[in-house]
Chains A and B, each alone.
Chain A
Amino acid sequence: MSALGHYLEEEGLATVSISLIRPQTENTRPPRALWVPFELGRPFGPPDDPVFQRRVLLTALQLLERTDGPVLLEDFPDDDPRRRPDPGWRPLLVSARTGAGDSALLADDMEAEVLALRGAHDRWVAQYRRTTVGVSRLAIADAARYVAEWLRGNNPESQRAGFSAPLMLRFAIDDLKAYALEAAAAGSTRPSSKQLNDWLWNETAIGLAIHALRAALLNAEDQRLRLIAENFIVPGARVRASG
């Protein structure tokens, strides 16, 4: 992001950048940046809080009017209020047989779980009138089936022309995670990202299946699969010592 600011400014455009990782911005020294103390993924802070978002945005834009640079790097003072857990939120009941040692069982559980989440996900879509599911362009049951087949060791072909099988796997997993997280956030409570992700990674068959798939594919022959397994399906903070 900081590099983009540098290139655009060199071409004659004034830029201001939001910074999420202050040390990186200190190193790259873009012309103007506002560091914000928020979680990665939400540079303008809490969802559905226009007043707070506007304050962040205006603080950043006002750096464009300053003449005492370069380099300007300011800090936004306030934390994201949505970081706090909502004690009223209840995780969706899921029925993973949590042994997780049996990949075939886990694959079955995951497919069943995706079907069981449909009601909650329908409520999410009715509530927000959108979904971020769709990167794989598979229907969600098909995405679940595709990932399950990998877990069963069947290494399925890509179902989309021009997309390699490992890329389809990553996109299908992205869709499953988005589907589960949206389903779990439907309703009037306001769970924190930690509440939602604790549930996904510790309690659901989807989370357990992705953990198991990561462990299995770390030894795959295909280098792309190993790379995706190691880095691009389970968040670094959620990787288990056992793989």
Chain B
Amino acid sequence: MTRLSDLPPAQAKRLAEIECPTFATTPFVSGPPLSRRKIAIVSSAGLFRRDTEPFRGRDSDYRVVRGGIAWEDLLTSHISVNFDRTGLQEDWNVAFPLDRMRELAAEGVIGTLADAHYSFMGAADPLGMEPHARELAGRLKQEEVDSVLLTPV
């Protein structure tokens, strides 16, 4: 578990003190009940389709993961070696909960699950990701997505 007290002290200190961007504003978009929302997943797990180009180094762009992807076709080339991979090897839903989201949509708990989901590689520089994130926002709105589940790894 990632209670920092459980990690080796040097790693815990590095993670706690890692430089994160801070923002002057705090935007907050409201919306309808979950049952009327269209939701996409945006992961920072460095996910890509097996037959496409992996993230190299600290690439700051994003990749598309179609909702219909077979689990066998999903890979990660995240640069970090400091997260557990045995969980997602057994079940991708621990990091990319596509099956759980499908179930919630089928039950009507959420309105619609988007057809396309997206992944960045979380060790990239956040400032480098910004233009890609803003371009992605336009794409999501075109796809009539109003809400996003953000998942790290």
Q: Which residues of A contact B (CB under 8 A)?
A: 1-24, 27-31, 37-48, 50, 53-54, 57-58, 60-62, 64-65, 67, 69-71, 79-80, 82-83, 128-132, 134-135, 163, 167, 170-171, 174, 177-178, 181-182, 185, 191, 193, 196-197, 231-237
Contact = CB atoms under 8 A, between A and B. Distances in A.
A13 B152 contact: no
A31 B27 contact: yes
B100 A4 contact: no
Contact of A29 (B18, B23, B104): B23
A37 B137 contact: no
A11 B150 contact: no
B116 interface: no
B129 A3 contact: yes
B21 A3 contact: yes
19 contacts: A8-B133, A8-B140, A9-B29, A11-B138, A14-B146, A15-B148, A16-B149, A18-B149, A24-B15, A28-B22, A40-B83, A43-B152, A44-B94, A57-B100, A57-B149, A64-B34, A71-B26, A131-B89, A132-B89
Contacts of A62: 34
Interface string B87-107: 111110111010111011000
Contact of B129 (A4, A13, A41, A82): A4
Contacts of A182: 89
A3 B3 contact: no
Contacts of A3: 20-21, 126, 129-130, 133
Contacts of B23: 6, 28-29
Interface string B119-153: 01010001001100110111011000111111111
Contacts of B84: 39-42, 193, 197
A17 B152 contact: yes
Given A3-B129, A20-B2, A53-B100, A43 B27 contact: no
Contacts of A42: 84, 87-88, 94-95
A177 B57 CA distance: 18
Contacts of A234: 81
Contacts of B100: 44, 50, 53-54, 57
Contacts of B16: 21, 23-24
A177 B120 CA distance: 22
Contacts of A53: 93-94, 97, 100
A60 B110 CA distance: 13
B150 A1 contact: yes
B68 interface: no
Interface residues of B, number: 86
A135 B134 CA distance: 28
Interface in B63-79: 70-72, 74-77, 79
A163 B55 CA distance: 11
Given A41-B95, A47-B87, 15 more contacts: A13-B29, A23-B4, A27-B20, A38-B1, A43-B94, A50-B93, A58-B104, A65-B33, A70-B27, A128-B90, A132-B75, A132-B85, A134-B75, A185-B86, A193-B87
Contacts of A13: 29, 137, 140-141, 145-148
B77 A39 contact: no
B93 A41 contact: no
A58 B104 CA distance: 9
Contact of B90 (A9, A48, A134, A167): A48
A52 to B, nearest CB: 10
